[in-house]
Chain A
Amino acid sequence: MAPVTLTKEKQKDYRSNSLWRLTLRRIFRQRSAVVGMVILGFLILVAIFANVIAPYDPIEVLIGVEDGVKKRSAPCVHILGCPEDQPQHIMGIDGNVRDQFSRVIYGSRISLMIGFTTIGFAIIIGTILGAISGYAGGLVDNIIMRTLDVLMAFPSLLLAITIVSILGPGLQNALLAIAIVTIPVYARVVRASVLSIKEMPYVAASRALGGSPLHILASRVLPNAIPPLIVTGTLGIGTAILDAAALSFIGLGAQPPLPEWGTMLGSERNQVFTAPHLVFFPGIAIMLTVLAFNLLGDGLRDAIDPRLGQAS
């Protein structure tokens, strides 16, 4: 029999229906995912080119550098009618005579870093715990899950606050605390996936072929647990950024002069009545970043796994 050959068009047809492409197409059909991706893309560009966009050094005190700068002076934008002879400060000057706009711009680097590292860490530890728990079952499962239950009995930000006060204030410790309090979420997601996947025929087949538990777990079970993890993780990044900013706001997270949005809000909070611009802009920046991750996460969930429902 002659071998079956496909025409060029047919080949293209098959390729365009691959699982990846289908998923991608589904994602792009989600309005919220697209909006989220656009905002996030913008923020990533801002973070990468922060040194090009920002007109000043974010921690440089402008006294003696520029004539006539006063601390906490209002924004001065030339096209909005600010006299041309005054130096332009789009978001005004902060309490330590630094350019607020440059600080907000550089803040995007820190916040994105916070989001990715905390959730990355939480996912790794959570996956290990969840996989062990789900695969082993029995006593091990009980011990791990009950311990995580106790952690989940605390409101997460409160637990994070307590952990940071043990470890001592600072950005690194704040990140660690936020990662620790979010571990249970990922452990549960992975455990649930593992429990349903380990009963699948292909896992039984792999076991019959003599695959070791580690092999089965790593290359048969876990890859299938990835979609719900991506969705939960994307939504989790938003919350992590929000919580980290809250910790910095109360002085337990990033320390001045680091241009972190929560820290900037915290150090000018008492000036909200006299210099509202110093509080307004960092808050908007936090909101925009968190919004981007939430929209993207919602869209991904609807595209990848509609069964996950709309639980927040």
Chain B
Amino acid sequence: MIQYTIRRLLMAIPVLLGILIVTFALARMIPGEPCKAMLGEKATAEVCERFNIRYGFDKPITTQFGIYMSDILKGDFGNSIRFSRPVTIILIERLPLTFELGSIALLIAIIIGIPAGVLSAVKRNSMIDVINMIFANIGVSMPVYWLGLMLAFVFAILLKDTPFWLPPTGRITAGLVAVPFYEVWGWSLAKESISYHIAEFIANLYIFNSLITGDWKVFVDTLKHLILPSLALSTIPLAIIARMTRSSMLEVMKQDYIRTARAKGLRKNKVILRHAFRNALLPIITIIGLQVGTIFAGAVLTESIFGLAGVGRILLEAITARDYPIIQAFTVVIAMGYVFINLIVDLSYVFIDPRIRLE
């Protein structure tokens, strides 16, 4: 097991290296000089020269890449050109929101998708199955941003003045403050220390932060703000998970051992859950891992619709502003997160299916 994990980690290194090269190359290929994009009319030749020296754009491209690599290994993504602040700090501020949004969306997709798929498979060709699959097909065909806009319209305008009203933009109602847990608990953390940054990251997970500090008002408010975006974001993964669960269950239920289990008198529900579902789990887990990518990409659109300042939205803004350090760092983080999640999925196979020999 340990050996397999190590080998699998080593195998991920070339892909990660490739990701770094590709993001570096892509960011440098974006036309237009960062100096002109940043400074606009103020970008005279002299100013640009100083700007380039300051940010290292005057050095040969290979040297730039070398510096970039060694900095990343030190956890330093450089300074954002637009905000003149370390990119790592911006990541600490923005990533928690996307993380919360994505996790809730994935959770919705799993909690609804898997039971719907199992139900469809068990009651194959019944009314429930047909309805489920119609919804699943519509779900994968729907533009996330369109659904987001429609949800915002329905819940913020049509259901105004009803208890079902939900806020269409923002993360927290103006005036409310999510007090960081370390302040509530009276911790004194040295600014700029690593523990401070970690605490800051956790505190920026508003829902989690308000949960552990017991601030119910903020908890309910932030949760309410995330319902619509995460619903919109969850549709495609939900539909895909439901379809995968259905077909994987159907495949397993054809097997002889299911018939045997039924024949020896086990209750149907027990057979479905203990015998069929466990064996159908492998492709379902795989497809869930792949949905993380869909969610990251969807977050770019969802965040910009619901006015949420997460990773997706800032990445989009950075692309128009040619803020290289942000583009590089955020793309690298997203791609690495994707590779990492699929690595975990691969490793989880061993626990789900002991038959997999890890040669």
Contact = CB atoms under 8 A, between A and B. Distances in A.
Given A163-B26, A291-B141, A310 B244 contact: yes
B244 A287 contact: no
B335 A287 contact: no
Contact of A310 (B30, B137, B243): B243
Nearest to A283: B146
A300 to B, nearest CB: 14
B143 A286 contact: yes
Centre residue among A245, A272, A280, A290 by max chain B CB count within 10 A:
A272
A156 B293 contact: yes
Given A166-B30, A250-B316, A150 B18 contact: yes
Interface in B132-168: 137-138, 140-147, 149-150, 152-153, 156-157, 168
Given A157-B297, A161-B300, A166 B156 contact: no
B31 A168 contact: yes
Interface string B330-347: 010011001100000000
A262 B19 CA distance: 29
Contact of A245 (B26, B30, B143, B150): B143
Interface of A: 32, 146-147, 149-151, 153-158, 161-163, 165-166, 168, 238, 242, 245-246, 249-250, 262, 265, 269, 272-273, 276, 279-280, 282-283, 286-288, 290-291, 294-295, 298, 309-312
Centre residue among A165, A276, A283, A294 by max chain B CB count within 10 A:
A165
A155 B301 contact: no
B295 to A, nearest CB: 8
Contacts of A279: 146, 149-150, 153
Interface in B1-56: 14-15, 18-19, 21-22, 26, 29-31
B327 interface: yes
A229 to B, nearest CB: 21
Given A272-B153, A294-B141, A157 B15 contact: no
Contact of B338 (A32, A153, A157): A153
A154 B338 contact: yes
Q: B interface, by DSSP: helix, strand, loop or mixed?
A: helix
Given A158-B334, A286-B143, A311 B244 contact: yes
Interface of B: 14-15, 18-19, 21-22, 26, 29-31, 137-138, 140-147, 149-150, 152-153, 156-157, 168, 240, 243-244, 246-248, 251, 283, 287, 293-294, 296-298, 300-301, 304-305, 315-316, 319-320, 327, 331, 334-335, 338-339
Contacts of A288: 141
Contact of A249 (B30, B157, B301): B301
Contacts of B26: 162-163, 166
Nearest to B14: A146
A158 B29 contact: no
Contacts of A286: 143, 146
12 contacts: A149-B15, A155-B334, A158-B331, A162-B331, A245-B143, A272-B149, A279-B153, A288-B141, A290-B141, A291-B137, A310-B243, A312-B244
Contacts of B338: 153-155
A163 B319 CA distance: 10
Nearest to A252: B319
